Amino acid sequence: MRFKIIGSGGCVATPKPLCTCKICMEARTKGKPYSRFGCSCF
């Protein structure tokens, strides 16, 4: 069995829903790569 870990930079998705902090607002404005999902394992 092999695992491929994608997005291991953090466990919290960015931007967080309804968050208005500077980081989340910037991620919404700029999109990828600033906007990302949490960790994934396939």
pLDDT (tens digit per residue) in 1-42: 888 776 666 667 788 888 899 988 998 898 877 777 666 655
Q: pTM for this structure?
A: 0.55
CA 32, 4, 17, 22 torsion-angle sign: negative
Q: Which candidate, 12, 11, 16, 38, places its Cα nearest to that of 26? A: 16
CA atoms within 13 A of residue 31's CA, in its CB half-sphere: 0
User: Which pLDDT does position 20 carry in this prediction?
Assistant: 92
Instruction: Give pLDDT, residue 38.
Output: 65
- pLDDT of 9 reads 62
- Do 35 and 28 meet the contact criterion of CB atoms below 8 Å apart? yes
Q: Can you give the pLDDT at residue 40?
A: 60
What pLDDT is recorded for position 21?
92
